[in-house]
Amino acid sequence: MAQWRFMMLLGFILIGFCGLAARTAWIQVIQPDRLRQEGDLRSLRTTADPSHRGMVTDRNGEPLAVSVPVQAVWADPKEINDADGLKNTEAWMALADVLGLDMRKLTASVSDPKRRFVYLQRQITTSVADYITKLNLPGVHLRRETRRYYPSGEISAHLVGNTNIDGSGIEGVERAFNDWLSSTPSQYQVRKDRQGRVIENIGMVKEGKKANDLVLSIDERLQSVAYRSLKYATEVNKATSGSLVLMDVRSGEVLAMVNTPSYNPNNREQYEAFRARNRAVTDTYEPGSTVKPIVAMAALEHGVTNWKEVFDTRPFAVGGHVVKDSHHMATGTLYDILKYSSNIGMAHIALRMEPQWITGKFEEFGMGQSSGTGLMGESSGMIPMRSRWSNIERATIGFGYGLRVTPLQLTAAYAALANHGIRKPISMLKQSTIPQGERIVSEQIAEQIIHALEGVVEEGGTGGKAAVPGYRIAGKTGTAKVATAGGYGKDYVGTFVGFAPVSNPRFALAVIINEPHGASYYGGSVAGPTFAEVMSSALQLYNVPPDALPESKDDSNNFAENSTDTTKRGVKKNARS
């Protein structure tokens, strides 16, 4: 009996071993993939290298936008529920306090055990992250990420723009060059144990893309001076807003671009759409008298007047409207018309020309078309294109009504004039070489207009407050009414745009003050002082030597005698320079 029982037990053990061997063979040889897959699902993980957005700097390497390391705190509700972690009320109260969250809402967000991932707060500082680590809450984890920081704050906010919480550009340069600045992390496959520790590096799954840095043409020193001066002018003149653009005449690079009011891009709670708009490229306005030099160039090219002709500058009626001036004079030459900003004189000149001659010249100077900077929301402005023009429309376009331009377009137009009639492409990026330009007006006519605009800033001209001691300044004031539904309102836009030094122009600068409600609203009064301050700083920072004193041209008669009659001279259009 004992032997039989022993043999039966031995048989059962042998059958068991055979079953185990068969099962092992089935798993290892015949069908290994399913269990291997089950194991991989529990141990294989895909990780990524931390990626950083490219840096944005000014032309001298000063940082305008950088990415700084921060942490995100997140929770695994299932892990919290399994560990019964919500019982530690004091620790959760401390977590809610440091994150600035409501205790009830915080615990409610992690109470569902079916969820595996919940962000509690993103972009927290290192000190807060260290504090959370010491709380030792089960199911609460930290995750590395980056936050965009803007060292210049509100000074360059409109130009540089900002990113959303995920690091994608939503405004300004950050959005325009988002693909260039963005990076894609490389992904790797690793094997982890049950505690989450990496025990094997398997290899790369997907190669990422490295971010690129971006060097702007902006000079942060000039940007700071320009913003401070424009902000002061906006406040003193009780204006609704202001814009300023400074360009390098030789290269076409934008050295400063500021707007008021501004905002702090480092404070997301302060963000408002109307504050984030880069008015220098998005907003258009009627430029008023600032386009009179361009109209004068068109008139000289087509031979409809010359520097010696004397115009009747007394008020006159056109199409039921009376054209009049703020500076009264009975007669004046083209030099006087520009110096004293006579609407009447320019109306007489404009009525002699075909409207297409004027609008064509505006287009040659870059108005009514995209600047090519790539900035988001840029407006191309508006140049009227009509098959039939009334006399009042022909007259008013001569002194800057009926068209719309941006501050950037106006600055670029004067930069082309300062460059003796050669238009350079506008650039927001630092240029390694000076680009080739396009001649849009003869050098002779450009030089004559330049010397005429110098009289605007001299004693008796409308832009006397824009003068810079030691330097010869050429420029033009503009005071235009703000268009409203059905006509024009009571508000004005004050502008001064010009360049310096006249002997060898280096910088072009436009200052626009929108709807001033102070003691004055004229462009020379509200925008001229800001022009003088910013231009003076630019000339000094770049060590531009003062000009020699100009030859005597105390009145328009002397200027006319020294100017060549251009009535019989043409100009070769669009010749490459």
Q: Give the H/E segment covering residue 112.
A: none
Rama region for 567: left / alpha / beta (φ>0; ψ in -120 to 50; rest): alpha
178 and 248 both lie in a single domain: no
424 and 406 both lie in a single domain: yes
568 lies in a domain?
Answer: no
552 and 437 both lie in a single domain: yes
128 lies in a domain?
Answer: yes
Q: Look-up: residue for tokens 């803007």?
A: 150
Strand partners, 246: 256, 509
pLDDT band at 572 (very low <50, low <70, confident <90, very high): very low
Alpha-carbon gap, residue 290 to 301, rounded angstroms: 19
Q: What angle do CA 513, 516, 517 make, to 5 degrees?
A: 170
One-character DSSP codes across 123-148 = EE-HHHHHHHHHH--TTEEEEEEEEE
Alpha-carbon gap, residue 523 to 456, rounded angstroms: 12
9-40 exposure pattern, b = at least 16 Cβ within 10 A, e = fewer = eeeeeeeeeeeeeeeeeeeeeeeeeeeeeeee
pLDDT band at 50 (very low <50, low <70, confident <90, very high): low
236 and 191 both lie in a single domain: no
304 lies in a domain?
Answer: yes
Mean pLDDT score of the chain: 87
Angle between helices 126-135 and 89-99 (to 10 degrees): 170
Q: Percentage of the chain with pLDDT > 90?
A: 55
Quick one: pLDDT at residue 351?
95
292 and 407 both lie in a single domain: yes
Specify the range with the lowest mean pLDDT, choosing from 23-32, 164-173, 402-411, 434-443: 23-32
Strand partners, 484: 487
Specify the range with the lowest mean pLDDT, choosing from 355-359, 456-460, 530-534: 456-460
Give the CATH number of the domain where residue 130 resides: 3.90.1310.10
Tens digits of per-residue pLDDT, 541-568? 999 999 866 555 445 555 666 564 443 3
Tens digits of per-residue pLDDT, 424-443? 999 999 999 999 999 999 99
- 392: helix, coil or strand? helix
User: How many structural domains is the chain composed of?
Assistant: 2
The DSSP bridge pattern shows strands 241-248 and 254-260 to be: antiparallel
Quick one: pLDDT at residue 115?
87
Backbone angles phi, psi at 36, to 5 degrees: -60, -40
The single-letter DSSP state of residue 29 is I
**Which of 268, 299, 476 has the alpha carbon at shortest distance from 398?**
299
What count of other Cβ atoms lies within 10 Å of the Cβ of residue 145?
18
36 lies in a domain?
Answer: no
307 and 352 both lie in a single domain: yes
Alpha-carbon gap, residue 291 to 307, rounded angstroms: 18
175 and 261 both lie in a single domain: no
130 and 191 both lie in a single domain: yes
Cβ partners under 8 Å of residue 313, min gap 6:
325, 329, 330, 331, 332, 336, 337, 342, 344, 345
Specify the range with the lowest mean pLDDT, choosing from 58-67, 85-94, 141-150, 199-208: 199-208
One-character DSSP codes across 177-241 = THHHH--B--EEEEEE-TTS-EEEEEEEEE--B----EEBS--HHHHHHHHHHHHHHHHHTT-SE
7 lies in a domain?
Answer: no
- Kindly state the tokens that stand for 376: 């988001």
Tens digits of per-residue pLDDT, 283-317? 999 999 999 999 999 999 999 999 999 999 999 99
Alpha helices in 340-479 (DSSP H): 343-351, 355-364, 391-397, 407-418, 443-457
Domain end marker among 215, 237, 256: 215
Give the distance from CA 466 to its chain's centroid: 26
Q: How far is CA 329 from CA 226, 314, 315, 347, in A?
A: 36, 7, 10, 15
Domain end marker among 215, 234, 256: 215
Are residues 147 and 138 in contact, defined by beta-carbon separation less than 8 angstroms? Answer: no
141 lies in a domain?
Answer: yes
342 and 383 both lie in a single domain: yes
Structural domain range at position 51: 47-109+116-215
Specify the range with the lowest mean pLDDT, choosing from 23-32, 37-46, 262-271, 414-423: 37-46
pLDDT band at 196 (very low <50, low <70, confident <90, very high): low
211 and 225 both lie in a single domain: no
535 lies in a domain?
Answer: yes
Are residues 494 and 289 in contact, defined by beta-carbon separation less than 8 angstroms? Answer: no
Whether this prediction's pTM lies above 0.75 is answered by yes
253 and 166 both lie in a single domain: no
577 catalytic per annotation: no
The DSSP bridge pattern shows strands 422-423 and 331-332 to be: unpaired
207 and 227 both lie in a single domain: no
Tens digits of per-residue pLDDT, 117-140? 999 998 888 889 999 988 888 888
**Which of 440, 515, 438 has the alpha carbon at shortest distance from 260?**
515
Catalytic pick among 289, 427, 442, 537 = 289
65-74, 131-140, 349-358: range with highest mean pLDDT: 349-358
37 lies in a domain?
Answer: no
The set of long-range contacts for 541-545, using a CB threshold of 8 Å and a minimum separation of 24, is 541/219, 541/221, 541/222, 542/506, 542/507, 544/471, 544/501, 544/506
Give the CATH number of the domain where residue 474 resides: 3.40.710.10
Alpha-carbon gap, residue 521 to 532, rounded angstroms: 17
Alpha-carbon gap, residue 504 to 372, rounded angstroms: 27
Tens digits of per-residue pLDDT, 361-418? 999 999 999 988 888 889 999 999 988 999 999 999 999 999 999 999 999 999 999 9
